[in-house]
Amino acid sequence: MVRYLFVLIQSLTLSVFIISCSSNETKKPVRTAEEDKSDSLAMIYDEKNADKRIDAFMKNLHRTRNFNGNVLVARKGKIIYQNAIGWADYLRRDSLEIDYQFELASVSKPMTATAVLMLIDQGKIKLEQNVKDFFPDFPYEGITVKMLLSHRSGMMNYVYFVDGIWRKERKDQKIGITNQDVMRIIADRKPTPYTSPNRKFHYNNSNYMVLAAIVEKVSGMKFSQFMKENIFEPSGMKNTAVYSKAEYDKIPVKVIGHDRGTWRYSVVQNFLDGPVGDKGIYSTVRDLYLFDRALKKGNLVSKALLDSAYTGHNDLVRGHFNYGYGWRLFNGGGHRVVYHTGWWHGFRHIYLRDLTADVTIVLLTNLTNGSLHQLDELFKIAGMPVVRKGAYTGGGDSAED
């Protein structure tokens, strides 16, 4: 009888465990036919109806500031302007097309943050969870998922650290390394952190490289596959993918990055194009608009977590600027803007979402010059406040007042 009861209790315990695990499985967002139709209507664009003021501004930016890239501006669910301006690959004289994929650089970070928040929604990760829970040999104490999301971990930037090792040891720079490779290097070499955890905001790529490694560990999937199945496909982003040099000998895109503001320096991808999450997502201006729509519709992450992503978790800069979870923040003039910039291997971008006025601006460029510092007039035309730190005094007042 005792033996029977023991077996019964074991059986019941196992059943509860299985039910618990099943309820905690990754639930992929389901894309409906209605969403396909709604997004298809939103993506309709007739060049004849382009906003003439934006068109004149962009053509002038191309002529006077050498802007080279793709642009999209949408207001209240409608694209009011889009254009592909210049070259995809200057050496081949290939013209850009609107659905060409760009390496997003740090514009990848909002999507990585969304993946992490999705897993938090599902109870697979906790904001206050320690990185050592996922990687026991991680050499730093007290760093949490929340600190990584808000750039408060105090870690060093792995890009510079690993690059120094590769150069010193003359390793093959053509073979991409993975996030898990970098995690092992950090565990073995124990590089000195920039500062102690949660002491201050210190933006660097290590935070989001580690977050992507955690996504892989928790989901049991490559980051590229997780993002495809859980973020890109449910959002209707058919021209977006994670491309890592660890998975591809040659990244399969047509747009080449050009550095130093000149066409003479086309950038060759190397081993540092292997780690992803901090970068490594390739997308288009139109797909980034679809991502904006998916977030606004609440298709990916619960409203409470999304609100926390749009809340500043650091000290204000110039009275208006902050950083949430994967988003830079601007609050001023009655507007709430979330955005991110990106700069990596010949690509430079800005992606802005005015949550108050329902305006989205996406500029992706493959010629790194100062053209994206000259957007004040575009913001005004679109009905968005000027999102440029240099436009504000230390007290937070507009420099133009």
| CATH code, domain with 96 | 3.40.710.10
Share of the chain above pLDDT 70, in %: 92
Q: Looking at the predicted structure, is the pLDDT value of residue 227 above 80?
A: yes
| Torsion sign, CA atoms 59, 64, 69, 70 | negative
Distance (Å) of CA 399 to CA 329, 372, 391, 394: 19, 19, 5, 10
Per the structure, the count of domains in the chain is: 1
pLDDT band at 167 (very low <50, low <70, confident <90, very high): confident
Q: Looking at the predicted structure, is the pLDDT value of residue 15 above 60?
A: no
- Quick one: average pLDDT of 187-195? 96
pLDDT: is 140 or 398 the higher one? 140
Asked whether residue 394 is assigned to any structural domain, the reply reads no
- Quick one: average pLDDT of 239-268? 93
Asked whether residue 261 is assigned to any structural domain, the reply reads yes
pLDDT digits (tens, 9 = 90+) for 66-103: 999 999 999 999 999 999 999 999 989 999 999 999 99
Using alpha carbons only, give the angle 386, 390, 395 rounded to the nearest 5 degrees. Answer: 95
Residues 76 and 358 sit within 8 Å (Cβ to Cβ): yes
Asked whether residue 208 is assigned to any structural domain, the reply reads yes
Residues 144 and 129 sit within 8 Å (Cβ to Cβ): yes
Separation CA 82–CA 61 (nearest Å): 14
pLDDT band at 28 (very low <50, low <70, confident <90, very high): confident
- Quick one: average pLDDT of 167-171? 87
Task: Spell out the residues 6+ positions from residue 181 whose beta carbon is closer than 8 angstroms to its own.
Answer: 246, 274, 275
Domain with 312, as residue range(s), is 31-385
pLDDT at 170: 83
Three-class HEC string of 168-214: HCCCCCCCCCCHHHHHHHHHHHCCCCCCCCCCCCCCCCHHHHHHHHH
pTM higher than 0.85, yes or no? yes
Asked whether residue 153 is assigned to any structural domain, the reply reads yes
Which secondary structure element, helix H or strand E, spans residue 224, and what is its range? helix 223-227
Asked whether residue 330 is assigned to any structural domain, the reply reads yes
Q: Looking at the predicted structure, is the pLDDT value of residue 6 above 80?
A: no
Share of the chain above pLDDT 90, in %: 82
- Quick one: average pLDDT of 99-126? 98
Neighbours of 39 (CB within 10 A): 18
- Quick one: average pLDDT of 269-296? 97
Asked whether residue 396 is assigned to any structural domain, the reply reads no
Separation CA 225–CA 223 (nearest Å): 5
Asked whether residue 399 is assigned to any structural domain, the reply reads no
- Quick one: average pLDDT of 348-377? 97
**Mean model confidence pLDDT for the chain:** 92
Name the 3-class secondary structure at 396. Answer: coil
Q: Looking at the predicted structure, is the pLDDT value of residue 286 above 70?
A: yes
pLDDT band at 253 (very low <50, low <70, confident <90, very high): very high
Asked whether residue 392 is assigned to any structural domain, the reply reads no
